[in-house]
A and B are shown apart, each in its own frame.
Chain A
Amino acid sequence: MTRSTTRPRLRFHEYGDSGVLVDVVAPSYAERWEAAQALADSLVADPPHGFLDVVGSFEHVFVSFDPLVTDRAGVTESFDRRLQTGSRRRRRRFRVPVVYGGASGPDLDEVADELGMTTPRLVRLHCSRPWVVRFCGSPAGAPLMDGPDLPAPVARCRHPRTRVPSGSVALSGKQCVIYPVNSPGGWRLIGRTPLNLLELENETLVRYRPGDLIQFMPIQESEWEALAGRVLGQLDRPADVSSASRRV
């Protein structure tokens, strides 16, 4: 990755009486995303007075605060300093087995067709290298991921589904998501993993965090049963898991 010498700059936007939207100005997508995540991490680790919650996304940070004890100036006062002291985290890698196509991925053939490639080639491309978790979004901590370069953006469903089964792996634009829970959804479904992503009894809720890597691997329908209900990370080498607990 080429890194420019100028530091990312922050622009603040009014976002209601209890919130502020920060957008990160930097020359590259990677720098904007890294700065947004570093700022969000820093706010969770060392919250300013009156801080309530934060969402760090591709190049934005949305911060909510209690307007009865602080204000926008007070809550954002430390942001520039936080950017400069932000540290990078170790990336962890999780393997995610996927049954592609058929009932598990009803849009696979159509998406391959739209991208001008055969179905097996799309599956190979999807598994060709790990996807990077950019942030945990909706619904319920769904990992929003960038990955192998698709030849063209994937269009959304013309008629969004009212129920997408949990574990579904889906594409939209050049991004990929895994649905952690059954929910409505408009992304195109290419496969489904038997693994559980969301652990409500676990304080962190999901095991992956922004920056972590997801490596998809194709499995057969017949392998589903043996993997069903296992949690993310159980298939990964102990080395990956131990590095996971060593946070930077």
Chain B
Amino acid sequence: MGTDLDVAIEQAGHAWVQDLGRPGHCRTGISANGASDAHAATVANALVGNALSAPLIETTGSGITFTVESPCLLAVTGAADHVWVDGTPQPVGEALSIEAASRVHLDAPARGWRSYVAFNGRLAAAEVLGSVSPDPLLGVGRFLHPGDRLHVRTAFAGFDQPHLRLPLFRLGSGRPRWRLPLRVDVTPGPDAREFVPDDLDSLAFQVSPRSDYVGLRLSGETPRRTVSTEILSRGVPVGAVEVPPTGGLLVLLRGRLVTAGYPVMAVATATSIDRLGQARPGDGIVFRACTVDEAVAELRQRRDDLAALCARVGSAFGAVGLGDIIDPKHPSRPGAGQMSPTAG
């Protein structure tokens, strides 16, 4: 059941169709990729009643403009401050009921770097190894250009209730806080003791323009390595803070190559990895050492908040007779199973 929603892209900047990537192929040297701010992507899908890993639009450092040709339910999360619908600002982080032929626009972000646009339903894009995530090395991915049309299979047929103004619900997913310098929590890496100082807490860094979804290059005073032993190539986690011999730091994001041979001083926590996905060139970065227990406690808190949001979405949609547009894999549905982790 459902209708086809066409989304006509008018202006796309740097945008592609994204999901939570293809983890599980490290043994074959295939990077996971997936949304750089996986939490923001997950929340956008949660708000519109989709499976949390459903395909959606990810923009990087740019705005986007598109027209929806039939009614749709969408949510925007991440860096954007507003969703402009036919010239009127609407809130981010909420499910918005959009009328047919509306023009939707996001400004290029003033703070943060990536925004996510989720449509209720299934956004069509070719899967490779179970994911639509772009991987330029594999030559896969859907990059958006002006004139492109996206197709979404949705059960949402509009919501005609004149006394209810946009947004449809106040679901309160919370707004990201953009405090600079960006604080990155890290646990110690296997090679920290080879450096002076042996932690990053007292140092300040800045995001270089030569950064992308593979990794952030940080400039700043670099800890000095006290040994010169070569490190054999080995698997590296997303979030690894590497110290290349050329100076500065390299912080690996989800597009990272699976193996590397640079010393690893620290590893960003799962929740900090998503914050790093919002780092823009020029942003200041400070590191704060924490324990694995503290990192996992923060991750657990975030999972519980997400579960509560999904439950609110389930009751709100149900209350206005929209229960049938919720995907069977949305966590508010019985038997949808545990929330999938967004860890590397």
Contacts and interface: CB of A to CB of B under 8 A. Distances in A.
Interface string B115-139: 0000000000000110000000111
Nearest to A29: B232
B29 interface: yes
A53 to B, nearest CB: 4
A49 interface: no
Given A53-B27, A181-B137, A68 B300 contact: yes
Nearest to A41: B27
Nearest to A21: B190
Contacts of A140: 29-30, 137-138
Interface residues of A, number: 45
A198 B27 CA distance: 14
Given A52-B23, A181-B139, A60 B234 contact: yes
Contact of B270 (A14, A18, A54): A18
Interface residues of B, number: 47
Contacts of A142: 29
A183 interface: yes
Nearest to A47: B24
B26 interface: yes
Given A16-B267, A17-B299, A68-B300, A57 B24 contact: no
B286 interface: no
Contacts, number: 153
Contacts of B268: 16
B343 A183 contact: no
Contacts of B343: 17-18, 52, 64, 66-67
Interface in B185-205: 187-190
A204 B338 CA distance: 28
Contacts of A27: none
Given A137-B29, A141-B28, A62 B234 contact: yes
Interface string B251-269: 0000001111000100111
A138 B260 CA distance: 8
A219 B140 CA distance: 31
B59 interface: no
Nearest to B266: A16
Interface stretch (B38-46, B106-114, B175-183, B236-244): B236-244
A205 B28 contact: yes
Contacts of A17: 187, 267, 269-270, 292, 295-296, 299, 343
Closest 4 CB pairs of A and B: A55-B235, A62-B235, A16-B267, A138-B257
Interface of B: 23-32, 128-129, 137-140, 187-190, 232-237, 239-240, 257-260, 264, 267-270, 292, 295-296, 299-300, 303, 338, 341, 343-344
15 contacts: A15-B267, A16-B240, A19-B344, A53-B32, A55-B26, A55-B234, A55-B258, A56-B27, A68-B299, A71-B296, A136-B28, A138-B258, A141-B28, A200-B140, A204-B28
